[in-house]
């Protein structure tokens, strides 16, 4: 599939962005339309460890998970639901395992759809298995073939939507983020990550097209989320939150590549960059926040709802709770969150609710501040402005986010001295960079080849 | 208040799915045609104790044997009730009221003869030590009785040793346990171990809010039941296929 | 303490009721004020089963739980939190266990309060241990003494608020509810339950007063919640939802007695009757719903937020999840829910949000419809009208709820044929009842003494 | 957008709690006063490799023994860093940069002599089989190195047998494992069992997102660590108090 760069905003203004509606809604699965005026819970789950022992056990586990979720949804009257299966490695490394799981799940979902009319769809997220013990092995070779085969087989056997959390650039990013090296982060996410995505997403989109399923999207989980998790809570001391949001803003320029290469959304739940991407590309997005505390803690539990189309719990291990199995508990909570958003949409109060959701967390830390939809929109503009240059647009995003945080800090956004200092250092380092992509790339190639022993330029078709 | 269209927010699946037939119509289809049995079965379905006894009186007057009426009329009526409950046509209170009526009927039959009906089998029921949540157990006991089983109900908060003693004394075909608290359900393991130690191998059906399949699978005799209605099904399964725990689990473990 | 019946509404109109504000706010614990303009998460938890083995293990377990919650709250910037410890039986049967737990928890909470200034309070809910294997043993005797001793010792050792889920009337209720016998439900909850509460709450309020802590409230968990759980989801076939809501409405007349006998709120989380009670008594209330799916499923996940002051997860077993321990995950979700409500309060949009919360679930089933605040208020009026007669007010509540459901069914509330029939039967049975309390009581005494073999009138000072 | 007062909604506890002193001031208080050591310690704190080497050059020129400088200057500087990190005064990247600088310093010292420094102890680190999440392990390894330990880093997705083989070969004072997925962490149990079988009794420190204390407590050698900074503390504890697993758990198990 050809790559079409985004150089314009899908929305004329930030205020047009709301949850449940996307400029380009996506039809998927059994009667579902995403971003077409209502929000839908997207339920995520992880099999119990013992279940990974054999294909049979794993299929059985996913059957239980699927039945539990569907049963709870009809019990509480939820009109629609999406199930996301994030492959455990066995399922991607042995594409027929993934296919068997997809088939088993879809069969159950079809039964429920037939019996109750519940709208539903199945997303399979293939594991990015392109790496060996020491190095990434991003292109060519057997790993790449198995990787694509996994998409193909899932698509053929019941998955309605294909996704991945790709890893391009992470070897450099990992090194850089632990050293406050923001140019390195820019290189890892913005340049290497985007280059890798361009390759894989053209291929994934072709697979999807061939099989008449949805190429949904990617997330910078490997990098921006790692930064967010290392930054942690208010009292953690592992990374300044002002740096985590720079990495996040850069990641928007990267994850956008999926849609430029043929994906149509919904973006993956853990892409906290998705508000920015929705602003640019108009695709529906999944998000997670206060109802994914089962999977992680963050500082923008409400804010992430602001313009989601699917609302997700990210992941929860399957086991029992007083209220049912975990997947039932979390699915139910998500469904009520969606019901509230859908009431707002139905009664014309969606903008009011959206604004309250954003206001809840935009002063909680610098990350929420930048991702609040009106600021996210600005980061989007900074990207679209130089949409044709993957380096420049990522750098723009970084600088715009810094500017937004600085403005915030002059208002109601409090920063610790430490956060301010980290921000100022990052700003200086980023402003000192060239505007020339080739120059930047060759400087970085030299530097990181030397400093990061696991960095192999061949992975990006370099040198 | 704001005005919304509920159908944009939720689906009343129960209303949507409701069967065309009324419960009465559905029951009518199932009653036996025999004119002495029909009114008894119908009275059971309706939960009318007086009508049950009246029907039995007439049947006995017309020469029927009181004890055979238990199987041939009362249980037949009760099976209509259970079937319709399983199919979702009627609700639990109807079953409870039918069960009350059936038990009154059995008492009446017994009072009309010196014969003793052949027992279907005994089940011991209890709520775990330390736990007072007993309505689930009460339903289980009632449904077992309604299915014709002899229930020895030990009540709630029953010490482990008393449960074991009751099994030794009653020699039931199944033991049931109910626990609604994670802190109390561990008593099931103890009961299991003590029973094993003494050489008992009877199925130990466990249920109640706190209990889950994973937990119950951890001890040899445990069979997890999600709904009260599973209890009589388990007992029936044991009578039909024997008390192999693995097979019971295959049948009843759903998660 | 003397009993003062409620014969007037605390709110002049339903529309005045919102979350986070109560006519009579309650100060408790360390810097906290409940119902004073903001909502606060109330976190509930159950120790792991193994932890009950010894007092030391149990204390240690609650220490971990407490530390985990407090740590997460400061990590995400939550301004306030309440911890509720529902006693496991060991803690109430051995009052010094409960006391040791209260002391250990409070010590940790004080440390956090001192270090971070976080507002917090500790609620201890004593187990209603007044029963033996066969019968309730509600009054007099050693059980009653231990019961009161448990309140006393917790109050002395750190609990800021005392609560209980009392069981009066449940032997009759259990029998009646499984037989669609609504007069029996009225007797069990409305008459016997109220009589028992009157006795215990005068005593609890005295203990609280003596120790300068808060007598908070009761809930009809033993009865109205049992009915709600048996009624279950939309597709369950164990009890008509139209009957469950009659039991619930009656329970409001019952749980109100706590406040008439000296309690001041906040009402207990699982009292779904609390919206009605807030309308009458003006006390702050805790509620649970979409963020207590860990503990149970219900059909009004959002609606229950409509006028809560504390927002609770009901209970979750302490164990690990990807996102931390369960108490951390659920506490965080609650905290974000509260942040949203607090934004609404801060920006003057609380009524709009409340209305959306109510609209989300009021057509989901008959229960939500009656408990939607404007209808709840009407049930309150029916109670207050005959506030001096515990029988009549409970009967009024039942009949008013039937009327509300009937009205709803003429509008947007769908009922299944089955639900309508159960409602009609209940209406006929309740309308046939006398208006004379003494008559009703003596009829019921005769009937249930015969039918319910575990019913002992002495428990209520009868016969 | 709506206008709110954030202080009604949230508390920025980090801003509220921030220490009066800047990190630089706090460090200044802790540097050794000795004029040859001072600049080295300071350069370590600042993460300036060149300045570290420069300081070492001067010290060696002034007659100091290269190997003793490792303990007396480099480690001293690193301890300032670790202390301030533990106290929450500085952040992880500072520690990482200081560690880089220190390691450069050690290399330099070693290059100035044929003596070999006395090793503090060896730790083997790995990420569980099937798991690629390795940044946590990288931090663990870096902090261990920064504390002076010799780290054998086996990388990610390491087969159980290779881990066992590495323990046999390296004879470390501790093994660490990282797993972020519930499906991979079970490898730790296998490693434990194989080590036990072969008679090894070394502490096996386990951490990473999926792993929790309950799980780790299930196998004999397991010690759960919540934060990467616990790893060097565990190693120090072992050096000081021996490798008694029960004592390690008492010290490090918090939940
Ligand atoms: C009502 C209730 C009460 C009532 C009990 C009234 C009664 N008649 O039993 C009262 C108020 C007395 C009460 C007291 C307490 N409770 Co309570 N209670 C509940 C509640 C709300 C509903 C339980 C119920 O009646 N369910 C309906 C029945 C029908 O369901 P069931 O028993 O599970 O049975 C069904 C199935 O499980 C099955 N089944 C049951 N047994 C069996 C057996 C077999 C063989 C089979 C096949 C099937 C089967 O059949 C039934 C229908 O299909 C639950 C909430 C919940 N989420 O479950 C809490 C709950 C059980 N209680 C809880 C607690 C903590 C308490 C107290 C400690 C609170 C306190 N501090 O006072 C005390 C404990 C006292 C004690 N020592 O036991 C917790 C337990 C948490 C934990 N640790 O595990 C729960 C889960 C609430 C919560 N989420 O916090 N409680
Ligand atoms: C970033 C990330 C990725 C990146 C990994 C990048 C990298 N460099 O490692 C990528 C995108 C590649 C990825 C892939 C996948 N991931 Co991932 N990922 C994450 C994420 C978002 C953050 C992890 C992270 O970096 N945390 C920060 C680090 C610093 O934390 P840490 O490793 O836990 O270490 C800290 C402590 O634990 C401690 N520590 C660690 N080890 C040790 C050891 C000792 C001895 C001590 C004392 C301390 C200690 O020190 C550190 C700091 O204090 C988590 C989310 C989460 N909630 O954790 C999911 C998560 C781990 N991933 C998950 C999944 C499912 C996957 C995939 C299967 C998804 C897919 N379908 O593609 C694949 C798996 C591939 C594979 N076979 O492993 C799930 C796992 C669920 C489960 N089954 O258990 C998680 C939990 C997300 C979720 N909630 O769904 N992921």
CATH number for the domain that contains residue D90? 1.10.1240.10
Q: What is the mean pLDDT of residues D126-134?
A: 93
User: How many domains, in total, are found in chain C?
Assistant: 1
Is a pLDDT exceeding 70 seen at residue B21? yes
Domain membership flag for residue C100: yes
User: How far apart, in whole angstroms, are the C-alpha atoms of residue B142 and residue B153?
Assistant: 10
pLDDT at C138: 95
* Same structural domain, D91 and D173: no
How far, in Å, from the CA of D92 to the mean position of ligand 2?
A: 18
Domain membership flag for residue B128: yes
Domain membership flag for residue A5: no
pLDDT at A1: 64
* Same structural domain, D98 and D146: no
Domain membership flag for residue D6: no
* Same structural domain, D179 and D238: yes
* Chain B residues with CB-CB distance to C13 below 8 A: none
**Which chains sit next to D, with 3 or more Cβ pairs under 8 A?**
A, C
Domain membership flag for residue D206: yes
Give nearest CA residue, ligand 2 atom 13: A222
**Which chains sit next to C, with 3 or more Cβ pairs under 8 A?**
A, B, D
**Residue B18 CB burial class (10 angstroms; 0-12, 13-18, ≥19):** middle
To the nearest 10°, the Cα dihedral for C136, C141, C143, C147? 110
Domain membership flag for residue A2: no
A105 Cβ contact list (under 8 Å, min separation 6): A62, A63, A66, A83, A85, A122, A158
pLDDT at C1: 64
Give me the domain span that covers residue A446.
Answer: 14-455
Domain membership flag for residue A461: no
Q: Higher pLDDT residue, C258 or A50? A: C258
* Chain A residues with CB-CB distance to B213 below 8 A: 320
pLDDT at A86: 96
* Minimum Cα–Cα distance from A348: chain C residue: C356
Task: Calculate how close chain B gets to C93, using CA atoms only, in Å.
Answer: 10
pLDDT at B210: 83
* Same structural domain, B128 and B236: yes
* Same structural domain, B99 and B135: no
Domain membership flag for residue A460: no
pLDDT at C74: 98
How far, in Å, from the CA of C135 to the mean position of ligand 1?
A: 18
- pTM reported for the whole predicted model: 0.95
Chain A to chain C, count of Cβ pairs less than 8 Å apart? 161
User: How far apart, in whole angstroms, are the C-alpha atoms of residue C249 and residue C402?
Assistant: 9
Domain membership flag for residue B107: yes
Report phi then psi at C258, rounded to 5: -55, -45
Residue C290 has a CB neighbour count (10 Å cut-off) of 29
Q: What is the mean pLDDT of residues A64-85?
A: 98
Which of D111, D141, D174 finishes a domain?
D111
Q: What is the mean pLDDT of residues A346-373?
A: 98
Domain membership flag for residue A345: yes
Q: Look at A36-45, B99-108, C195-204, C379-388 and tell me which has the smallest mean pLDDT.
A: B99-108
* Same structural domain, D202 and D102: no
Domain membership flag for residue D149: yes
Q: Is the CB of A78 less than 8 angstroms away from the CB of B3?
A: no
Rg (CA), chain A: 21
Q: Is the CB of C322 less than 8 angstroms away from the CB of A316?
A: yes
Give me the domain span that covers residue B206.
Answer: 122-252
Is a pLDDT exceeding 90 seen at residue A219? yes
Q: Is the CB of C64 less than 8 angstroms away from the CB of D254?
A: yes
Q: What is the pLDDT along chain C (463 residues), one digit of tens a residue?
A: 689 999 999 999 999 999 999 999 999 999 999 999 999 999 999 998 888 889 999 999 999 999 999 999 999 999 999 999 999 888 999 999 999 999 999 999 999 999 999 999 999 999 999 998 888 999 988 999 999 999 999 999 999 999 999 999 999 999 999 999 999 999 999 999 999 999 999 999 999 999 999 999 999 999 999 999 999 999 999 999 999 999 999 999 999 999 999 999 999 999 999 999 999 999 999 999 999 999 999 999 999 999 999 999 999 999 989 999 999 999 999 999 999 999 999 999 999 999 999 999 999 999 999 999 999 999 999 999 999 999 999 999 999 999 999 999 999 999 999 999 999 999 999 999 999 999 999 999 999 999 999 999 999 999 7
Average confidence score pLDDT of chain D: 93
* Chain D residues with CB-CB distance to A416 below 8 A: 12, 14-15, 18
Domain membership flag for residue B192: yes
CATH number for the domain that contains residue B153? 3.40.50.280
Q: Is the CB of A414 less than 8 angstroms away from the CB of D85?
A: no
Q: Which atom number of ligand 1 is nearest to the Cα of residue C225? A: 21
Which of D89, D111, D133 finishes a domain?
D111
* Same structural domain, D40 and D155: no
Domain membership flag for residue B195: yes
**D interface mutation test: which of C47, C63, C318, C322 has the most D CBs within 10 A?**
C322
* Same structural domain, D150 and D180: yes
pLDDT at D19: 78
C98 Cβ contact list (under 8 Å, min separation 6): C87, C91, C92, C124, C126, C150, C153, C154
Verify D-B touch: 3 or more CB pairs within 8 A.
no
Q: Is the CB of B18 less than 8 angstroms away from the CB of C417?
A: yes
Domain membership flag for residue A1: no
Is a pLDDT exceeding 80 seen at residue B255? no
CATH number for the domain that contains residue C424? 3.20.20
Which of D111, D146, D181 finishes a domain?
D111
pLDDT at C139: 93
**C interface mutation test: which of D1, D4, D9, D181 has the most C CBs within 10 A?**
D9
C411 Cβ contact list (under 8 Å, min separation 6): none
In this prediction the ipTM stands at 0.94
* Chain B residues with CB-CB distance to C363 below 8 A: 6, 9-10, 12
pLDDT at B60: 95
A226 lines ligand 2 (CB under 6 A): yes
Is a pLDDT exceeding 90 seen at residue A232? yes
How far, in Å, from the CA of A429 to the mean position of ligand 1?
A: 60
Spell out which residues line ligand 1, taking CB within 6 angstroms.
A 322; B 130-137, 139-140, 176, 178, 180-183, 205-210, 225, 227-228, 230-231; C 46, 86-89, 125, 127-128, 165, 167, 170, 174, 221-222, 225-226, 229-230, 295-296, 314-315
* Same structural domain, B106 and B132: no
* Minimum Cα–Cα distance from C347: chain D residue: D4
The Cα-based distances of A103 to A71, A84, A315, A372, C268 in angstroms read 18, 13, 21, 39, 46
* Minimum Cα–Cα distance from B2: chain A residue: A347
User: How many domains, in total, are found in chain D?
Assistant: 2
* Chain D residues with CB-CB distance to C115 below 8 A: 17
**Closest to B211 measured CA to CA, from B237, B177, B245, B246:** B177
* Same structural domain, D248 and D224: yes
In this predicted model, what pLDDT tens digit does every residue of D186-239 receive, in sequence order? 999 999 999 999 999 999 999 998 898 889 999 999 999 999 999 999 999 999
Domain membership flag for residue B103: yes
* Minimum Cα–Cα distance from D7: chain C residue: C79
In this predicted model, what pLDDT tens digit does every residue of B143-169 receive, in sequence order? 999 888 999 999 999 999 999 999 999
3-state DSSP of chain C: CCCCCCCCCCCCCHHHCCCCEEEEEEEECECEEEEECCCEEEEEEECCHHHHHCHHHHHHHHHHHHHHHHHHHHHHCCCEEEEEEECCHHHHHCHHHHHHHHHHHHHHHHHHHHHHCCEEEEEEEECCCCECCCCECCCCHHHHHHHHHHHHHHHHCCCCEEEECCCCCHHHHHHHHCCCCHHHHHHHHHHHHHHHHHHHHHHHHHHHHHHCCEEEECCCHHHHHHHHHHHCCCCCCCCCHHHHHHHHHHHHHHHCHHHHCCCCCCECCCCCCHHHHHHHHCCCEEEECHHHCCCCCCCCCCHHHCCCCEEECCCCECCEECCEEHHHHHHHHHHHHHHHHHHHHHCCCHHHHHHHHHHHHCCCCHHHHHHCHHHHHHHHHHHHHCCCCHHHHHHHHHHHHHHHHHHHHHCCCCCCHHHHHHHHHHHHHHHCCCCCHHHHHHHHHHHHHHHCCCCCHHHHCCC
C-side interface with D, Cβ within 8 Å?
38, 64, 67-68, 74, 77-79, 115-118, 319-320, 322, 325, 339, 342-343, 345-347, 349
């Amino acid at each position: 599939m050809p790559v079409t760069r985004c150089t314009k905003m899908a929305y004329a203004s930030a205020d047009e962005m709301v949850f449940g509606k996307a400029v380009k809604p996506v039809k998927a699965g059994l009667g579902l339309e995403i971003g077409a005026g209502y929000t839908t819970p997207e339920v995520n789950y992880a099999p119990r460890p013992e279940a990974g022992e054999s294909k049979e056990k794993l299929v059985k586990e996913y059957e239980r998970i699927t039945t539990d979720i569907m049963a709870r949804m009809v019990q509480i009257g939820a009109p629609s639901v999406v199930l996301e299966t994030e492959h455990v490695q066995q399922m991607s490394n042995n594409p027929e395992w993934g296919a068997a799981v997809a088939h088993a799940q879809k069969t159950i979902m079809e039964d429920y759809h037939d019996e109750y009319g519940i709208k539903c769809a199945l997303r399979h997220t293939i594991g990015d298995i392109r790496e060996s013990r020491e190095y990434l092995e991003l292109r060519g070779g057997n790993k790449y073939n198995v990787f694509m085969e996994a998409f193909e087989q899932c698509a053929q056997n019941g998955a309605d939507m294909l996704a991945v959390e790709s890893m391009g650039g992470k070897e450099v990013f990992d090194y850089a983020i632990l050293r406050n090296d923001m140019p390195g982060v820019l290189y890892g996410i913005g340049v290497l990550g985007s280059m890798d995505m361009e390759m894989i997403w053209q291929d994934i989109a072709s697979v999807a097209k061939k099989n008449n399923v949805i190429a949904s999207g990617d997330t910078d989980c490997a990098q921006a989320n790692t930064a967010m998790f290392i930054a942690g809570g208010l009292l953690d001391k592992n990374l300044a939150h002002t740096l985590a949001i720079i990495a996040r803003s850069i990641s928007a320029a990267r994850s956008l590549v999926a849609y430029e290469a043929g994906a149509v959304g919904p973006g993956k739940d853990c892409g906290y960059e998705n508000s920015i991407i929705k602003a640019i590309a108009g695709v529906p997005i999944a998000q997670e926040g206060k109802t994914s505390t089962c999977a992680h803690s963050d500082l923008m539990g409400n804010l992430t709802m602001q313009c989601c189309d699917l609302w997700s719990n990210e992941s929860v291990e399957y086991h029992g709770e007083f209220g049912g199995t975990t997947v039932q508990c979390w699915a139910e909570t998500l469904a009520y969150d969606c019901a509230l958003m859908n009431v707002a949409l139905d009664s014309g109060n969606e903008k009011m609710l959206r604004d309250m959701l954003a206001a809840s967390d935009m002063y909680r830390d610098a990350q929420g501040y930048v991702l609040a939809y009106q600021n996210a929109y600005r980061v989007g503009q900074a990207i679209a402005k130089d949409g044709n240059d993957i380096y420049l647009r990522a750098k723009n995003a970084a600088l715009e986010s810094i500017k937004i945080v600085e403005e915030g800090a002059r208002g109601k956004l409090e920063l610790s001295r430490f956060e301010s200092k980290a921000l100022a250092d990052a700003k200086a380092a980023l402003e000192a960079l060239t505007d020339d992509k080739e120059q930047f790339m060759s400087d970085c190639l030299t530097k990181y080849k030397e400093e990061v022993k696991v960095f192999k330029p061949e992975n990006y078709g370099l040198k | 208040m704001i005005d919304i269209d509920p159908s944009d927010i939720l689906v009343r699946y129960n209303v949507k799915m409701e069967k065309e037939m009324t419960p009465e119509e559905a029951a009518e289809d199932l009653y036996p045609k025999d004119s002495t049995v029909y009114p008894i079965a119908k009275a059971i379905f309706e939960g009318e104790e007086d009508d049950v006894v009246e029907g039995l009186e007439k049947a006995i007057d017309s020469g029927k044997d009181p004890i055979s009426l238990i199987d041939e009329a009362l249980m037949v009526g009760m099976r209509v009730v259970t079937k319709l409950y399983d199919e979702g046509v009627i609700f639990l209170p109807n079953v409870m009221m039918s069960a009350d009526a059936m038990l009154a009927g059995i008492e009446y039959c017994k009072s009309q003869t010196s014969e003793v009906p052949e027992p279907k089998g005994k089940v011991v029921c209890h709520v775990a030590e330390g736990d007072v949540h007993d309505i689930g157990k009460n339903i289980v006991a009632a449904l077992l009785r309604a299915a014709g089983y002899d229930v020895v109900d030990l009540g709630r908060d029953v010490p482990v040793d008393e449960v074991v003693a009751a099994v030794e004394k009653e020699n039931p075909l199944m033991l049931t346990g109910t626990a609604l608290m994670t802190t109390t359900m561990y008593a099931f393991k103890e009961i299991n171990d003590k029973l094993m130690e003494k050489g008992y191998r009877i199925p130990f059906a466990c249920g109640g809010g706190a209990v889950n399949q994973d937990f119950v699978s951890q001890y040899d005799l445990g069979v997890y039941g999600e709904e009260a209605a599973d209890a009589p099904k388990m007992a029936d399964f044991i009578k039909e296929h024997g008390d192999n725990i693995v097979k019971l689990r295959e049948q009843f473990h759903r998660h």
